[in-house]
Structure 1
């Protein structure tokens, strides 16, 4: 089976992890701060807080922005469920903004219209979470402008996006957001096996994120009520969580980060090949904004012929090509139906879902596999 996504691990990665295994620190050592600093050096963001998953990063990002009961958080319906679940973890209400029909990203005009109505009804969101689907940046300048106008904070869900840029700024620089979240799951651009990072330019948010990822506990004397209690002493100031990243994960991430640009370049080369090879087929590739450079986590196409996706999907899987679909609209998941959402709430997202198919894309994909995928898709469509 040709996988839709796959980690790329080399000898340097293995040696980096083994070095940590042979050290005195498996957790809460020097590698995590080093990884955080390396992320900042790469993206230009001022602070990075490493955690055990992007889901955890989204959760504490909401908490750091004081999301709680009675608040509203809006996100995209075309995303993994974590983009919406993070608000529910905080006791807030979740709603969605319909997507652009071509990109699958949050539509700024749909957001503007929804905000106008919410202002009249007194139901404005506290936080909006745009999702960079496939690694393609949303129109962040417009979303940030609306944030200033309507008073909401912005969390960029860039789980697909590390290595990409928007308006010549690396994702993670937080030029148009309060917090940016990355994922390091094995199928993402680089991996820590599992892991995530929350980036921000706000020192107070960074401090709160750090506190929340580790039980709400601090050992900093200047922040303690009893700073003279003794060297063994620590204080819990918030109800935090054990969302820490291990030294093993950070060491792998540090090693992988050295090849990030190489990975992104290869992914863009493979995507360009796909776009050229599929030009004569009745499909449309999902492409990034002209003002951005995508990390190309996924290569997604929209099928022009209605009703054929399931047959194409099943046939390609039978032919050992692990195509995929990203994503089933969150508002139609059974749990969200139980919250009152229903089919027809976000018609563009629902229509986008019916058309899309994800083709394999990862740096280890070779030319013969690439050709085979294209030929198999061509045969399925014919």
Structure 2
């Protein structure tokens, strides 16, 4: 089976992890800060906090922004559930903004219309979470302008987008957001096995996220309510969590970051080749905005079902049957049973639902060979052979 995504682990990566296993620190040692420094250097953000998952990063980002009961978080319905769940973890309410039919990211037009209506109703969001689907950045400049007009904070869910650029600047620099979140899951562009990071240019937000990451505990005298009892002394000043990243993960991340640009460049090579090889088939190929450079975590096609004899599900199943590990990113969050129990229903976000009915993620990973890509194209061509 050719997987839809796969990590690329080099001998240097292995050696970096083995060195940690032989060291004095398996957690809370020097590698975490070193990984954070590599993210700061790459993106230009002022602060980076590495954590055990992007979900944890989203959670502490929401907490740092003061999201809580009575507040609203808005995000895209085409994302993994964590982009919405982070609001629920804080006791807030969650709503969605439909996607753009070309980019599959949050529609700026739909966001603007929803904000205008929410202002009249008195339920504007406190936090908006645009998701850089497949690695292509959202129109962050336009979303940022709306945030200044309507007073909401922005968390960029850039789980797919490390290595990408917006207006020639790195995703993660937080020029148009309060906080940016990365994921380092094995199928992502850079991996730490499990892991994530939250980046910000705010000293205050960085300090708050650092507390939430590690039990709400501090050793900083300026944050304490009394003089330290001794060098051993610490205080819990917030209700925090154990969201720390281990030294093993951080060491792997430091090593992986050295190849980030080559990883993304290889994905662009594969994407261009897919574009050429699939051009004659009844498909919509990925649309790339000129002002952005995608991290290309995913290569998503959409079936032109009116030109194909087979239904979407059958095309997917036949490709899997041919050893092609296709996937579907994502099931619209508002159609999940947990969210339907809140009152969401089919028909709420038509562009997202149409996307779901047509989308298939083709294999895309750094080590993918042209021969493997040829197998994917041949299988897809054969499955779609029956064209109306």
Matching of residue 373 in structure 1 with residue 373 in structure 2: no
Q: Is the 8 A contact 1:169 1:175 kept in 2?
A: no
Q: Deviations over 1:251-271 (max 9, x none)?
A: 000000000000000001000
Moved over 3 A (4+): none
Cα contact 1:135–1:294 (8 A) shared by 2: yes
> Counterpart of 2:33?
33
Matches within 5 A, 1:226-237: 226-237=226-237
Provide the C-alpha distance between the structure 1 equivalents of 2:281 and 2:341, rounded to a whole number of angstroms: 40
* TM-score with structure 1 setting the length: 0.99
Residue 90 of structure 2 corresponds to which residue in structure 1? 90
Partners of 1:309 and 1:228 lie apart in 2 by: 64
Q: Which residue of 2 aligns with 1:253?
A: 253
Report the equivalent of 2:244: 244
CA apart distance, 1:222 = 2.2
Equivalent residue runs for 1:140-151 within 5 Å: 140-151=140-151
Residues 166-245 of structure 1 aligned to structure 2 (within 5 Å): 166-245=166-245
* Mapped contact 1:191–1:252 kept (Cα < 8 A): yes
Q: Does 1:309 align with 2:312?
A: yes
Correspondence 1:322 to 2:318: no
Deviation at 1:279, TM superposition (A): 0.5
Note the residue ranges of structure 2 that are not aligned, 5 or more in a row. Answer: none
Q: CA deviation at 1:224?
A: 1.6
Unaligned runs of 5+ in 1: none
From 339, 345, 361, the counterpart of 1:358: 361
- Structure 1 distance, partners of 2:250, 2:289, is 32
Equivalences for residues 133-172 of structure 1 within 5 A = 133-172=133-172
1:5 partner SS: coil
Q: In 2, distance between residues paired with 1:191 and 1:75?
A: 25
Cα offset, 1:50, TM superposition: 0.5
Shift of 1:91: 0.2
For residues 151-193 of structure 1, what are the alpha-carbon distances to aligned partners after superposition, in whole Å with 9 as ceiling and x for unaligned? 0000000000000010111000001000000000000001000
> Does 2:54 correspond to 1:51?
no
Answering whether residue 326 of structure 2 is matched by residue 337 of structure 1, we say no
Moved more, 307-316 or 37-46: 307-316
Which residue matches 2:101?
Answer: 101
CA distance in 1, matches of 2:199, 2:221: 25
Deviation, structure 1 residue 225: 1.8
Decide whether the 8 Å contact of 1:136 with 1:287 is kept in 2: no
Shift of 1:290: 1.0
Contact 2:228 2:234 in 1 (8 A): no
Distance in 2 of aligned mates of 1:227 and 1:164: 46
